[in-house]
Amino acid sequence: MPLVTTTEMFKKAYEGGYAIGAFNVNNMEIIQGITDACAENNSPVILQVSKGARAYANHTYLMKLVEAATVNYPDLPIALHLDHGPDFETCKACIDGGFTSVMIDGSSLPFEENIELSRKVVEYAHAHGVVVEAELGTLAGIEDDVVVEAGDASYTKPEEVEEFVTRTGCDSLAIAIGTSHGAYKFKPGTNPQLRFDVLEEVSRRLPGFPIVLHGASSVPQEFVEKINQFGGAMSGAIGVPEDQLRQAAQSAVCKINIDSDIRLAITASVREYLAEHPDHFDPRQYLKPARQAVKDMVTHKLVNVLGSNDRI
Ligand code: G3H
Ligand code: 13P
Ligand code: ZN
C-alpha cells in the first residue's frame, strides 16, 4: 500500500490502549531492520526523518528507501514523518516531497509565536492531505544541533493545551513530562519518574486526542556494556525505564519516539563484530548483524513496550 497518514493509526492506538513506535531512519539497514520487525509482528509503524537525517542521507535517497519498504511489505501501514521540523520551509519541502506527516517544533518559541508557526504549517499540510504534530513544553537533551540543559527544560502546562490545539488545528501534540533526548538522560543512581499527573491532566482536557512522547529511548544497559566491553567509552548513559513507557503507551500517548536505542544497538553490534573479526573489512559482514540487532531491538519494543504487535 502507499504511505499512510497517522490518522487511522492513532485512532486505533488510542482506542486499543497501545502506542505506535516512531523510529528515526538514516540509512537502508535501519529502514530494513525496523520494517522487517514490524512486518513480522503485524505492527503499523512511523518512520521518521530529522533535519540531520535529510542532511546526511539526502531527502530523495530516504524517500526512495522508504518507498522500497512499502513495495517489500505491501500490507504494512507505514507513515513517513518529519521529526523536529525547525521551520515552515523544511515542513513544506517534506510535504511537497511525499511525507505523510510532519512535526513543526516551535516548542522553544513563546506561546503565541509557537501557535502562529504551527498554524501556518497546519494550513499548508492539511491542504495537501498531510497531518501535523506540534509541541508544547521543552525536553532536555540534544536534538539535531540544539542542546537543552536539564535546568532549561520545562513540563507542558496542561492549562495551555486546549487553546494551543484549538488555535493551531494540529493533529497530535508532543508534550514534556520528563523524557529527554539522547543516551544520557538521567544521572546514574537516580530514579527517573515521568510526570503521569501532567499526562493525565493533559488527556483529561483533550479527550480522544493523540499525545506524543519524544526522548523515549530506554538506553538498554546490555548495549552500553557491550559498547564499553569492545572499546567504547560511554559512562552514565541512562534512559527512561521501560515499565513507565509501557504505562504511557496504555494511555492517551499514541506515538513514542525512539532513536538513541537504534544507534546503541548498531554501535554495540558493529563494535563486537569488528573486535571479534579484526581481519574483516567488508561492510556487509558487520552491517548484517547490525541490521539484525535493530530488528531484535524493535521487536522487543513492539511486543513488550508499545503493544502495537498484532494490530494489522
Ligand atoms: O530528537 C532527535 C532525534 O534523535 C534525531 O536526531 O537530529 O541527530 O538526527 P538527529
Ligand atoms: P531518544 O533520543 O530518546 O531516542 O528520542 C528520540 C526522539 O525523540 C526523536 O524525536
Ligand atoms: Zn524528539
Secondary structure (DSSP) of 199-237 = HHHHHHHSTT--EEE-S-----HHHHHHHHHTT----S-
The closest alpha carbon to 179, from 108, 235, 245, belongs to: 245
Tens digits of per-residue pLDDT, 182-198? 999 998 888 899 999 99
Measured distance CA(295)–CA(302) in Å, rounded: 10
User: Residue of the nearest CA to atom 7 in ligand 1?
Assistant: 144
Distance CA 123, CA 225 (A): 47
pLDDT of residue 139: 83
Report the pLDDT value the prediction gives residue 144, as an integer from 0 to 100. 66
Whether this prediction's pTM lies above 0.85 is answered by: yes
pLDDT at residue 190, rounded to an integer: 87
Question: Would you please indicate which residues are annotated as catalytic (active-site) residues?
Answer: 83
SS3 state at 91 = helix
- Tell me the ligand closest to 26's alpha carbon: 1
Q: What's the pLDDT at 151?
A: 65
Kindly give the number of the ligand 1 atom that is closest to the alpha carbon of 53.
9
Amino acid of residue 223: F
**Structure-block grid coordinates of residue 172:** 497530535
Q: Which class for 298: exposed (0-12), middle (13-18), buried (19 or more C-beta within 10 A)?
A: buried
Cβ atoms of 256 and 133 closer than 8 Å: no
Which ligand lies nearest to the CA atom of residue 185 in the structure? 2
Closest CA to 150 of 257, 54, 238: 238
Centre a 10 Å sphere on the Cβ of residue 207 and count the other Cβ atoms it contains.
8
Pick the atom of ligand 1 nearest to 260's CA.
4
Q: Which secondary structure element, helix H or strand E, spans residue 256, and what is its range?
A: strand 253-258
Cell digits of residue 94: 517534506
Nearest-atom index, ligand 1, CA of 145: 7
Cβ neighbours, 10 Å, residue 200? 14
- State the pLDDT at residue 302: 98
Strands 45-50 and 172-175: unpaired
Report residue 249 as a C-alpha cell: 503507551
SS3 146: strand
The per-residue pLDDT for 242 is 98
Which residue has a Cα nearest atom 2 of ligand 1?
Answer: 143
Ligand 1 centre from 24 Cα, in Å? Answer: 7
**Ligand 1: centre distance to CA 57 (Å):** 13
Distance CA 272, CA 83 (A): 30
- The owner of cell 522508504 is 66
Residue 34 contacts residue 23 (beta carbons within 8 Å): yes
How many CB atoms within 10 Å of residue 296? 14
Identify the segments of the chain with pLDDT beneath 50: none
